């Protein structure tokens, strides 16, 4: 079987993954019954505004509330206020929204229900420094963590212990109300305590661990930050905290669900999908090297008449920034992949962030094929030099191979597909 348009096929698989994580398609079936008291909706994340809209359309009772999302990710809602703030480095708008959300938890009763709409990006968007810290302190630590190559669970462990709202503190503030968290996972393993730094979920990490993470990555620790991590207010509520006894989490979309949907779409197109995993982590270049070996193994094992194979994977790679280019972990992964495949025939690939934003750029990711390096050389582009400068964005932009979706209003981490024809 021939694949007439490999690039269109890969884009179709990406769209199938996005559809499976669209709040409009998945949220309504997870809603709790209305309470006898108030329903207060709060939330944070790149998908939180889309989740709020889906909730409004499905909810039969009264409700009000506030969610904070990334700039450019708002959608109009009638009863739930939408605030936009900065990501990945927090700003004053996120600080103000977090203060208001925490204030909304005051005075709730056992008859009331808090619905928390949580998705990836919420950790930066819902920023409220612990007592003794300033927004500038949080911004500096966050920026350093993003450049360090630390995995998301380590970054969020630090964020929780420097926050007045994360790591279960928000749910504790809502006690004795029932708290129902509807979440879209963007983290390997789908641990709700890691997604957006778990504002409504008990925390198993400690302040000592957060301090060790900063020291391991040689991140400068200001005196005020060290004082919080070594002081009495540095610890977060643990899962057994009685204030969290009425807090529940429902996972409405995950990376695995997205990969399963892409696999189903692949089968409909006559392809043989193989899911390599939904929680693949590591340096983008190292993951690319592993994928290259895997792709060659599957290509070598194909027999005449076998359908084309598509290798699907998710997770969140990291990039240790050494250059000054316009990067993004998916562009970096794909550039390393293209170089490693060395224009081998029969390989096409796509790598995109499902939120539509690869790092801090305006693309979701990029796409490559057997002609990528040849076209680059013809254009005077040195792929190795672009990779060394962490400049995958500029490389694929020059070739017209960026994938640009705009904000997708969901976020189930990275989507990668390698098509072997």
Residue 149 has pLDDT above 90, yes or no: no
Looking at CATH, the fold of the domain delimited by 6-17+256-420 is given as glycerate kinase, domain 1 (3.40.1480)
CA-nearest of 165, 42, 182, 52 to 114 is 42
- Check residue 185 and give its pLDDT: 96
Distances 375 to 280, 315, 366, 382 between C-alpha atoms, Å: 30, 30, 15, 11
First-last CA distance in the chain: 8
Residue spans in the chain of domains classed CATH 3.40.50.10180: 31-253
pLDDT at 2: 82
pLDDT at residue 76 is higher than 80? yes
Contacts of 280 (CB under 8 A, 6+ apart): 188, 287, 313, 314, 315, 317
Distance between CA atoms of 200 and 68, rounded to whole angstroms?
Answer: 15
Are 199 and 118 in contact by the 8 Å Cβ rule? The answer is: yes
pLDDT tens column, 30-44? 999 999 999 999 999
Strand ranges for 319-354 from DSSP E: 347-353
Q: Residue 141 has what DSSP assignment? A: H
25: burial class by Cβ within 10 Å (0-12, 13-18, 19+)? Answer: middle
CA 324 to chain centre: 23
CATH number for the domain whose boundaries are 31-253: 3.40.50.10180
Q: What is the phi/psi pair of residue 342, to 5°?
A: 50, 45
pLDDT at 1: 72
Q: What are 284-321's pLDDT values in tens digits? A: 999 999 999 999 999 999 999 999 999 999 998 989 88
pLDDT mean over 393-402: 98
Provide the pLDDT for residue 42.
98
> For 123-134, what is each residue's pLDDT tens digit?
999 999 999 999
Structure tokens at 226: 């060290």
- From CA 275, how far away is CA 265, in angstroms rounded? 13
- Mean per-residue pLDDT, 416-421: 97
Q: Residue 160: is the preceding peptide bond cis (ω within 30°)? A: no
The span from the CA of 14 to the CA of 8, in Å, is 10
Q: What is the rounded distance in angstroms from the CA atom of residue 252 to the CA atom of residue 365?
A: 24
Q: Where in the chain is the domain with CATH 3.40.1480.10?
A: 6-17+256-420
pTM reported for the whole predicted model: 0.90
Is the predicted pLDDT of residue 203 greater than 80, yes or no? Answer: yes
Count other C-beta atoms under 10 Å from residue 357's C-beta.
Answer: 26
Mean pLDDT computed over every residue of the chain = 95
């Amino acid at each position: 079987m021939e694949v007439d348009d490999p690039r269109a096929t890969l884009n179709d698989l990406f769209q199938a993954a996005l559809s499976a994580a669209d709040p409009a398609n998945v949220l309504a079936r997870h809603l709790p019954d209305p309470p006898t008291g108030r329903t207060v909706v709060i939330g944070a994340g790149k998908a939180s505004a889309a989740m709020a809209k889906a909730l409004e359309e499905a909810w039969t009772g009264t409700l009000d509330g506030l969610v904070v999302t990334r700039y450019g990710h708002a959608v109009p809602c009638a009863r739930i206020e939408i605030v936009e703030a900065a990501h990945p480095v927090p700003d004053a708008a996120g600080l103000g929204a977090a203060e208001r959300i925490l204030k909304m938890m005051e005075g709730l009763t056992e008859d009331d229900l808090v619905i928390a709409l949580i998705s990836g990006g919420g950790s930066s968007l819902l920023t409220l420094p612990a007592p003794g810290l300033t927004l500038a302190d949080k911004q500096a630590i966050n920026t350093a963590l993003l450049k360090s190559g630390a995995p998301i669970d380590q970054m969020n462990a630090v964020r929780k212990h420097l926050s007045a709202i994360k790591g279960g503190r928000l749910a504790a503030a809502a006690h004795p109300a029932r708290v129902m968290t509807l979440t879209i996972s963007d983290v390997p393993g789908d641990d709700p305590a890691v997604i957006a730094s778990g504002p409504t979920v008990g925390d198993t990490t400690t302040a000592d661990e957060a301090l060790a993470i900063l020291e391991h990555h040689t991140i400068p620790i200001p005196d005020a930050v060290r004082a919080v991590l070594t002081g009495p207010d540095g610890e977060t509520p643990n899962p057994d905290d009685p204030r969290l006894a009425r807090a529940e989490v429902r996972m409405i979309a995950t990376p695995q669900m997205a990969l399963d949907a892409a696999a189903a779409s692949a089968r409909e197109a006559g392809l043989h999908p193989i899911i390599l995993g939904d929680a693949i982590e590591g340096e983008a270049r190292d993951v690319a090297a592993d994928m290259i070996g895997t792709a060659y193994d599957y290509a070598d094992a194909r027999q005449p008449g076998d359908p084309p194979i598509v290798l699907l994977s998710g997770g969140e790679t990291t990039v240790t920034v050494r250059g000054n280019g316009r990067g993004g972990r998916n562009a970096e992964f794909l550039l390393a992949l293209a170089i490693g495949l060395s224009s081998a025939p029969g390989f096409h690939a796509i790598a995109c962030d499902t939120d539509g934003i690869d790092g801090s750029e305006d693309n979701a990711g990029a796409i490559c094929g057997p002609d990528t390096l040849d076209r680059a050389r013809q254009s005077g582009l040195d792929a190795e030099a672009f990779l060394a400068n962490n400049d995958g964005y500029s490389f694929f932009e020059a070739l017209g191979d960026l994938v640009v979706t705009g904000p997708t209003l969901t976020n189930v981490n990275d989507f990668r597909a390698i098509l072997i024809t």
